[in-house]
Amino acid sequence: MRSEDLFLVLNKEVIFDFKENPFWWPDYGSFWVVIGAVLTQNTKWENVEKSFVNLKNVGVQSLEDVANLSEQNLANLIKPSGFYNTKAKRLSMLCKNILDKFGSFEEFMKNVSRKWLISQKGLGFESVDSILCYACSRDIMVVDKYTFRIFEFLDFTFESYDEARQWLEDIDRKCVYKAVGSISDNELFARYHGLIVEFCKSHLKGAKFDDFALSLFSEISI
């Protein structure tokens, strides 16, 4: 099985309106992606959305607004996301570091490197690549816990996160374009990650895939 095989199967089965939201992640290309990438760690996205509402209710409209909040105030606002004291500290520091290094979110989008993001406390590979893909429009695939669950079932093993990412990115674009039309690599990888998440949210029950997923994966692993 190759990467395009997995993509095409998921693209056929997942119900999501990519015409309305071609890049899947909410608020694609905005500073909210950076906030969300931190807040979504170890929690459901629904809890992140509650935190977003709290932040918007006090007038947060930029990274500068987040950076100007006290850590205690920020922690109270993001409480629905869990681990709020730790996340507030890391998020506040990240926003300040971005502004100190790049001056603005727009310059951050254009100039940030993966190496710089990885050096920031509290950002793992998944969070870093989410920011690069969905905030900065970079051609990079996000590998999350759902992806590794699929790999585990298919008996695929990788030496590292980056090896798994490279396998996913090594995709036959001609095959993909026949199914979804000609799209940029950024949109392709954003969509691919979205397909994996949406599929697993529907078919991964606790620690196990349901019968539909098991049957589907058995077919494509041949």
Tens of pLDDT, residues 171-205: 999 999 999 999 999 999 999 999 999 999 999 98
Please compute the mean of the pLDDT values over residues 217-222 and round it to a whole number. 73
pTM of the predicted structure, to 2 decimals: 0.95
* Integer CA distances (angstroms), 194 to 11, 26, 82, 112, 199, in order: 10, 11, 23, 23, 8
Instruction: Indicate if the alpha-carbon torsion angle 188, 198, 86, 64 is positive or negative.
Output: positive
Q: Which amino acid is residue 210, in one-letter code?
A: D
Please name which of 77, 113, 74, 114 lies closest in space to residue 93, comparing C-alpha atoms.
Answer: 74
Q: Are 171 and 7 in contact (CB under 8 A)?
A: yes
Give the integer Cα–Cα distance in Å for 74 and 58.
Answer: 10
